[in-house]
Amino acid sequence: MTKQLNDLFDFLRFPSISTDSNHVSDVRHCADWLIQKLSGMGLDTELHETARHPIVIARNTHQADKKTCLIYGHYDVQPVDPVELWDSPPFEPEIRDGKIWGRGATDNKGQMLAHILGVEETLKEKGELPVNLIFLFEGEEEIGSPNLVPFLEKHKADLACDVIAVSDTGMVAKGVPTMGYGLRGITCCEVTVKGPSGDLHSGLYGGAVANPATAVARLVASLHDANGHIAIDGFYDDVRPLEDWERKMWAKVPGVSDDDTLAITGSHAAFGEPGFSSAERLWARPTAEVNGIGGGYQGEGSKTVIPAEAMAKFSFRLVPDQDPEDISSKVQAHLEKHCPEGVTLDVEVGHHGKPYICDPHSENGKAGQIALEKAFGKAPVLIREGGSIPVIQDMKEILGVEPLMLGLALPDCQIHAPNENFYVENFEAGIQLNRALLQELA
């Protein structure tokens, strides 16, 4: 195995799960490993404490006549549950079938380390970089980056740059280089519906009092009409329409047809807002999704009760020009309006982030496309991403620069799920991508 793969395996062995307080020391040790790696490359490094997990900064010696490129990534990872569904231990990486298997392999350790190793190769070969470089790596992306925005605002002058590069997104298909120029935003909430003061016998009291589980089911059903159109008043008011050039371009993008989506997801039929393809629904239309629902007896067999309360978790993906706070207020108004009688409703607002969009035809955008073509040997496709990375829009607003999203993840990489994986060839291409990108930006 190459030294570069050994580096990645060392990086992946840290169970740097940011959401779990039992792994605080693991997240710290992972940050320390990064500091050691970057310092060993001759870069000036800084470890910045936050209220939770540290931020790692690294720089080369800056020169006034060179462009400055900031490369962002995150070294924290998702939890591994249910661990019994993994085919190999999540923090003992291995290579099978041309893929690197392990938690964080794609999201985001493999992608960000490819940039680090690209810089390392250039420094060893040339002795210097063609640009001024800033590495910015955080340990809280998987919990919504709560401490990154204050850090960006505090260190705005020190982080001034001409371009931002991010590899934390995807490719549409194997061998098809992909540049993202948009992300959906997000707002989340959790709903608790309460009825009687305690669980009740469903024979003695059924039909006489409201059932919170039934109430939650009715609230969930109220979010959409029969065709999948979101039924919240005013939800679509600010949605930016698709441009004709986008629809024409996306119709030719491989790997994103309705049939491809079904094959990747294992679903039985396409479903969603009428009048749009699967790609258009994923990249340019908003959503309302139920992420969790529960209440009452969950064990084996029957237990005839009316539960005292029930719950549901919702997330809403947003597109330009929707505002998360505006949508959150409309969601709450909808839930209150449709809450059945006989129960009380509590809505807890969760994390949120704004949608992001940039001009893929800008000077920096063209440099990113050329770099992708050099790394993969063919011209890239241009897409918006269906997922959300709230810090991308935050960086745009605070630093005044549009990030380039140069994804290396494939649709079957299973991020956030058991058996996360990253193709070895994409890891190696990512190293060459970094080298080509810095040269093109220069």
Contacts of 229 (CB under 8 A, 6+ apart): 273, 274
Any idea of the CA torsion for 196, 198, 203, 207, to the nearest 10 degrees?
10
Q: Which residues are catalytic?
A: 76, 141
- The closest alpha carbon to 314, from 333, 291, 295, 286, belongs to 291
Q: Which two tokens stand for residue 427?
A: 């890891």
- 190 has which bridge partners? 313, 348
Question: What element of type H or E holds 9?
Answer: helix 3-12
How distant is the alpha carbon of residue 211 from its chain centre? 36
Is the Cβ–Cβ distance between 82 and 418 less than 8 Å?
Answer: yes
Is the Cβ–Cβ distance between 333 and 202 less than 8 Å?
Answer: no
Residue type, 280: E
Q: Which two tokens stand for residue 420?
A: 């996360």
Q: Which two tokens stand for residue 269?
A: 């039929």
- The SS3 of residue 80 is coil
Buried/exposed 291-311: b ≥16 CB within 10 Å, e otherwise: eebebbeeeeeeeebbbbbbb
Q: Where are the alpha helices (DSSP H) in 317-389?
A: 324-338, 363-376
